[in-house]
Structure 1
Amino acid sequence: MEKLRDFVDHLLLLRGRAPLETCWLNFAQLSDGDARRVNLWFRHAVLCEVQVLRLDLILNGFRLKLDDLPLVSRRLAKLNLSGVHLMHNFPDFSCCPVLEHLDVFFCDLSDAKKISSQSMKCLNIRHCTFSQIFRTRIYVPNLISLRLENYWYRTPVFEVMPLIVDAFVRVHDRSGDWYSCTSGNADYEECLCEDCDFCHSNTNCVLLQALSQAKNLVLTAQEQEFIFKRELMQSPTFNNLKTLLLINCFCVAFDLHGITSILRHTPVLEKLILEFSFEVPEHDDEVEMKGSCSQMERSSAISKHLKLVIVKC
């Protein structure tokens, strides 16, 4: 590791602040004293006006804490972070005016109260941990593409995204407020959250309302789907939605009221896809059914634009 430190010091620090186009820092092991040095290398790349910056740490559960300072860069356009802990002020990207792409994978966001960027167009948050106490607020008003996949703990709150086109949201059994709500944890006598994902008294539409301008929406559930069902029951209207894919959303797809609510609030929907995965031993066959709506038998609740319904199982 000492040789690597010397090499990177010479490669990055001794070259001064000559501009960088791309910088990728990838580590499989770090010692206790390396955190400060990695932060130094990372910040130096930003000072060199790097355009594409990637930091990957594969450290068996250890997540390096990045310095609690917002990034300041006139050139940074794409940022990929993996295996790091983002502190309070780091996700403030207001001083990165051309940052358009942020990919956060297997990171700790439990201290990040807000993620904000005026310029961001593509945001991917995959396998990340949010706080169990508060909801992270995400302010990205010019976002076009969102992927929120298999997060832990409290569902983040997205502020209005009027330009959103494509959205993909996948929840699993750890997504939401399981550890503070009696619905998910019988050890608590009462829910500690004011707007718990799993409390039937909560009528807030935390996630889907912000996605209501999307043209293409994918919702997929693994082992729990209550978040989707509750929010869809609040009836957000998707005025621009043309393609909706529901994967393993059994309690929504098999609920007549749920499907009716979706169809009633998607006035320009053209394609509805329901996809289910059943674990049946020794049977690998897949069944796909396609159908279209008859104009004569079409319900008034169904979009006149709906041309195709596909069921896969």
Structure 2
Amino acid sequence: MPGGEDRISALPDGVLQHVLGFLPAHDAVQTSVLAGRWRHAWRSIRRLHLSPEDWWDRGSPEHLKNFFDALLSPGGHDSILEEAKLDFDGLVEDCAHAEVWIRRILSGQAQVLDVSFATLENPPLVSRHLRKLELTEMILEGDVLDFASCPALEDLKMADCRLYLDKISSQSVKRLNIDSCYFFCDCRPSISIPSLLWLLLDSCIVPFLGSMPSLETAFVKPAAYSRDCCIRGAFKECCGICAECTGDGDHGSRCVLLGGLASAIHLELVAEPGMLIFGRDLRWCPTFSNLKTLLLNEWCVAIDFRALLCILEHSPVLEKLILRLSKRREFITVLSYPMEKLPAISKHLNIVEIRCRDVNGRVCRILKLLSRFGSAMQISIKLVSQLSTCFSFETWLWHFPANDDDECNIIVQG
């Protein structure tokens, strides 16, 4: 208020810099006209937010470029810049400048960098301080995702990016999130991050995974459009007879995915209809020596029970198994497994949860198969709606049928 006390100007420098860091850069600069105390305060902000959304009613993209150049020029910033968020949406013609601005930011001590709508090429990023990097709707080329020169980087997230490269590597990253990214390369891309603790690969081409001995949690869902789908089956389902579906194709003598996931404690493997990569990897199935919680969907029972039994056999300390089954046509082939030929599975497996829309013949056959491993297993069925939300009741298996043609005797508890 006019004539009122200016309490904000009385704030300590550190607090004032912190507050200005929440403003878009242009607004932060405009505070220089408020009073003498504010004239150069914007030069000391520790959080920088640059977005064209704040500029379309104030000037041209060229004006914005000039502002970026002035703000990020050597000597244009007085304090340690800890965090930067750069949105170049709509400034395609200025993408050549994006690399310059990003490298100027990293040449300081920025620990968090969030960039969207830009192109990054060689050489790789260089920073001794960067801890977290988020890239959204970017074009990434060459060796830009070789993080050998970012020894402090621990969090890497990419979403909706176009990757013209065949390798992602780091010796320090602990959490990796790749969501809806597409690789444009002639060979299968690879990920070499031995320090990884947490991994999410969602809706992208399946890469080769290197050894990850410290991995704890992983979620993998290959893209439905990837090269690892069966092209012969009807409705994109596995045909069950071609060399790829049966695991007899020329795929090299090593795992693509499962080898890198062998140390995981919590693992989710989800595939769309016709996806082959998990089933093929089971030809060289590693031992999941630490695995305690496992979620699988349709792929493990799409043709028969062999894939499910194989992964259970190689999970010696598994405690909880979740099967998520949709209401698609049943292609399952009922296999007769003599009791003496059943593989040994984890003695710790005491919780099996089947999530499905109804209790059909396939669910009953799965229940009967699991019952042959012993009675100590607590098996529950959760009926799930089309919106993938669980109802408030569960069905508990009390009796297994003597024959495959019999119905399961299941009691519903409220």
Decide: shared fold, TM above 0.5. yes
2:86 corresponding residue in structure 1? 25
Structure 2 runs not aligned, ≥5 long: 1-60, 234-243, 330-341, 357-414
2:372 corresponding residue in structure 1? none
Q: Which amino acid aligns with 1:306?
A: L
C-alpha distance in structure 2 between counterparts of 1:68 and 1:243, whole Å: 40
1:68 corresponding residue in structure 2? 122
Q: Please tell me whether residue 106 in structure 1 is matched to residue 160 in structure 2.
A: yes
Deviation per residue, 1:144-182 (Å, 9 max, x gap): 011111114xx311111100000110023212356xx98
1:41 corresponding residue in structure 2? 101
Q: Percent same amino acid among aligned pairs? A: 41
Per-residue deviation, 1:255: 2.2
Superposition pairs of residues 157-196 of structure 1, within 5 angstroms? 157-177=208-228
2:259 corresponding residue in structure 1? 209
What SS class does the counterpart of residue 86 from structure 1 fall into?
strand
What SS class does the counterpart of residue 10 from structure 1 fall into?
helix
Deviation per residue, 1:33-88 (Å, 9 max, x gap): x011122111111112210001012xxxxxx4313111111100000011112222
Per-residue deviation, 1:17: 7.1
Instruction: Tell whether the 8 Å contact from 1:176 to 1:198 is kept in structure 2 after alignment.
Output: no
Q: Please tell me whether residue 252 in structure 1 is matched to residue 301 in structure 2.
A: yes
1:231 to 281, 285, 293: 281
2:316 corresponding residue in structure 1? 267
What SS class does the counterpart of residue 40 from structure 1 fall into?
helix
What SS class does the counterpart of residue 204 from structure 2 fall into?
coil
2:203 corresponding residue in structure 1? 150
C-alpha distance in structure 1 between counterparts of 2:260 and 2:308, whole Å: 20
Q: Which amino acid aligns with 1:10?
A: A
Per-residue deviation, 1:276: 2.3
C-alpha distance in structure 1 between counterparts of 2:76 and 2:301, whole Å: 58
Which consecutive aligned stretches of 4+ in structure 1 deviate over 4 angstroms post-superposition? 181-184
Q: Which amino acid aligns with 1:22?
A: E
Q: Please tell me whether residue 6 in structure 1 is matched to residue 49 in structure 2.
A: no
Superposition pairs of residues 53-132 of structure 1, within 5 angstroms? 53-57=113-117, 64-110=118-164, 112-132=165-185
Change beyond 3 A, Cα 1:15–1:134: same
C-alpha distance in structure 2 between counterparts of 1:12 and 1:44, whole Å: 7
Change beyond 3 A, Cα 1:251–1:164: closer
Deviation per residue, 1:118-169 (Å, 9 max, x gap): 11101111111124511222211111011111114xx311111100000110
Q: Which amino acid aligns with 1:50?
A: A
Change beyond 3 A, Cα 1:279–1:198: closer
What SS class does the counterpart of residue 249 from structure 2 fall into?
coil
What SS class does the counterpart of residue 209 from structure 1 fall into?
coil
What SS class does the counterpart of residue 217 from structure 1 fall into?
strand
What SS class does the counterpart of residue 186 from structure 2 fall into?
coil
Instruction: Tell whether the 8 Å contact from 1:253 to 1:259 is kept in structure 2 after alignment.
Output: no
Per-residue deviation, 1:231: 1.3
Change beyond 3 A, Cα 1:30–1:256: same
Structure 1 runs not aligned, ≥5 long: 58-63, 185-194, 281-298
What SS class does the counterpart of residue 245 from structure 1 fall into?
strand
C-alpha distance in structure 2 between counterparts of 1:279 and 1:115, whole Å: 36
Deviation per residue, 1:171-225 (Å, 9 max, x gap): 23212356xx9869xxxxxxxxxx9x98723253111111000000011122332
Instruction: Tell whether the 8 Å contact from 1:18 to 1:48 is kept in structure 2 after alignment.
Output: no
Instruction: Tell whether the 8 Å contact from 1:229 to 1:252 is kept in structure 2 after alignment.
Output: no
Per-residue deviation, 1:9: 2.6
What SS class does the counterpart of residue 279 from structure 2 fall into?
helix
Instruction: Tell whether the 8 Å contact from 2:125 to 2:144 is kept in structure 1 after alignment.
Output: yes
Q: Please tell me whether residue 137 in structure 1 is matched to residue 180 in structure 2.
A: no
**Bigger shift: residues 221-230 or 122-131:** 221-230
Larger Rg: 2
2:291 corresponding residue in structure 1? 241
C-alpha distance in structure 1 between counterparts of 2:81 and 2:281, whole Å: 45
Instruction: Tell whether the 8 Å contact from 2:166 to 2:183 is kept in structure 1 after alignment.
Output: no
Select the structure that is richer in helix.
2
C-alpha distance in structure 2 between counterparts of 1:37 and 1:264, whole Å: 54
Deviation per residue, 1:73-130 (Å, 9 max, x gap): 11000000111122222111111111001101111223x2321111110111111112
Instruction: Tell whether the 8 Å contact from 1:183 to 1:198 is kept in structure 2 after alignment.
Output: no
TM-score (ref. length: structure 2): 0.61
Across the aligned residues of Structure 1 and Structure 2, the Cα RMSD in angstroms comes to: 2.7
Change beyond 3 A, Cα 1:132–1:97: closer
